[in-house]
Amino acid sequence: MTAQQGSVALPASPVAPVHSLAVAGRRLGKLMTLPTQLLLLFIFVFPGLMIIYVSLTWWGPLDGTPWYDAYESLNWFDNYIEAFSDERLWGSIGRTLLIMLVAVPAEFLIGLGLAVLFVDSFPLKRVFYSILLMPMMIVPAVAGYMFFMLFQSNGPINQILSILTGSTVDFVWLNDPNLAFVAIMIADIWQWTPLMFLILLAGMLGVPEDQMKAATLLGASWGQKFFRIVLPKMKVVMIIAIVIRAVEAFKLFDVMYVMTKGGPGVATETVSVYIYKVTFFDLEWAYVSAIGFMIMVFLSVLGGVGIAMMARAQRRRREANMGAADAAARG
């Protein structure tokens, strides 16, 4: 038998069709997302470039010229230099960070505790679930008015404290700088803890049930299962929840403005309230553009840090799963 007769025809390699199919899929995906990308380009990029452009000038709405002629009063980085020396601005940023550093961890811990309670079934679970999510559905301005009424001198909060202490309590909550801060934090925690709870509960329900059952069969306690299985599996979800709430807490405006308008004085003035006042009262739009661009950069960096932490957590999780798979294969 000759070499040609003894040779066996091999099937065509499937690599080329699979590769072309993947390329076609990517091309189709780009075409399908193109309208959304163009919309985002118009919504975000154009206003962003406009803000940067105006922030480099002295332009204002009372100048009598359109914004695209703002180059006539070009000052380059004077607005940014002024922002770095604006004590009122940095005071408002410090108060905003204080609210964020207190409210977000409180919302996380309360939301995590509630998620632990709701991960198992119990009577009337759906009813309590709906009640618990209700604060998140309320318009922030309405929630601010609710707490504005609650924290009045003769409001329900002082009456409840009077009943509990057995003496007359007449705290002037919203006129005292420290108490006003406490009232605002309570309002923010009340309204946005349900969001934290919802995200954490979704992450907790995503923990593999077979691992929990295996740990139970091996005699692990509830604490061991929670800290060694549940929390490590929820790292990405927890980072997402914390980053989302941190960014949203930094933008706090509605509740703050309705309850105190930044008062008394500027004692509870957040950066959003400060920007609102400078924009509509002082009409310094170029200066506000510089502040807005700086805050946008800060929040983008914060989001980038969160994304990097999520990527690292996902990479470690994949490595751990691959290691467990290899160990099972060798076993």
Question: What is the average pLDDT value for the chain, to the nearest integer?
Answer: 84
d(CA 274, CA 88): 8
Question: Of residues 10 and 184, which shows the higher confidence score?
Answer: 184
Number of Cβ within a 10 Å radius of residue 255: 26
Residue 167 sits at φ, ψ, to 5 deg, of -140, 165
Cα angle at 195 between 275 and 101, to 5 degrees? 50
Number of Cβ within a 10 Å radius of residue 111: 25
d(CA 309, CA 235): 9
State percent of the chain over pLDDT 90: 28
Give one DSSP letter per residue of 276-316, joined into a string: HHHHHTS--HHHHHHHHHHHHHHHHHHHHHHHHHHHHHHHH
Residue 175, pLDDT above cutoff 60: yes
Give this prediction's pTM: 0.80
**Domain that includes residue 184, residue range:** 70-78+93-318
Domain membership flag for residue 55: no
Nearest Cα neighbor of 240 from 305, 295, 159 is: 305
Contacts of 266 (CB under 8 A, 6+ apart): 88, 91, 92, 274
CA distances in angstroms from 149 to 49, 106, 142, 257, 331, listed in the order given: 42, 23, 11, 14, 66
Domain membership flag for residue 112: yes
Domain membership flag for residue 264: yes
Number of Cβ within a 10 Å radius of residue 196: 26
Domain membership flag for residue 85: no
Q: Is the Cα torsion angle 172, 138, 113, 239 positive or negative in sign? A: negative
Overall number of domains in the chain:
1
Give buried/exposed letters for 154-192 (b at 16+ CB in 10 A, else e): ebebbeeeeeeeeeeeebebbeeeeebbebbbbbbbbbb
Tens-digit pLDDT profile for residues 86-112: 999 999 999 999 999 999 999 999 999
| pLDDT value of residue 196 | 93
Tens-digit pLDDT profile for residues 197-245: 999 998 888 888 888 888 888 888 888 888 888 888 888 889 889 988 9
Domain membership flag for residue 263: yes
| pLDDT value of residue 2 | 47
| pLDDT value of residue 296 | 87
Tens-digit pLDDT profile for residues 22-44: 778 788 878 888 888 888 888 88
d(CA 295, CA 297): 5
Task: Scan for tokens 């295996």, then name that residue.
Answer: 214
Q: Which of the given ranges, 6-15, 213-222, 273-282, has the highest pLDDT on average?
A: 273-282
Residue 314, pLDDT above cutoff 80: no
Q: Which of the given ranges, 68-72, 148-152, 245-249, 301-305, has the highest pLDDT on average?
A: 148-152
Least confident range from 59-73, 122-136, 174-188, 252-266: namely 59-73
| pLDDT value of residue 18 | 58
Residue 229 is part of a domain; what is its CATH number?
1.10.3720.10
- pLDDT band with cut points at 50, 70 and 90 for residue 331: low
- pLDDT band with cut points at 50, 70 and 90 for residue 188: very high
Decide: 306 and 323 in contact? Cβ < 8 Å: no
- pLDDT band with cut points at 50, 70 and 90 for residue 134: very high
- pLDDT band with cut points at 50, 70 and 90 for residue 272: very high
Domain membership flag for residue 40: no
Decide: 262 and 268 in contact? Cβ < 8 Å: yes
| pLDDT value of residue 64 | 79
| pLDDT value of residue 323 | 64
Task: Give the amino acid at 124.
Answer: L
Give one DSSP letter per residue of 199-250, joined into a string: HHHHHHHTS-HHHHHHHHHTT--HHHHIIIIIHHHTHHHHHHHHHHHHHHHH
Mean pLDDT for 137-164 is 90
Question: Which pair of structure tokens corresponds to residue 232?
Answer: 């490590």
Decide: 290 and 55 in contact? Cβ < 8 Å: yes
| pLDDT value of residue 3 | 45
State percent of the chain over pLDDT 70: 91
Task: Give the amino acid at 59.
Answer: W
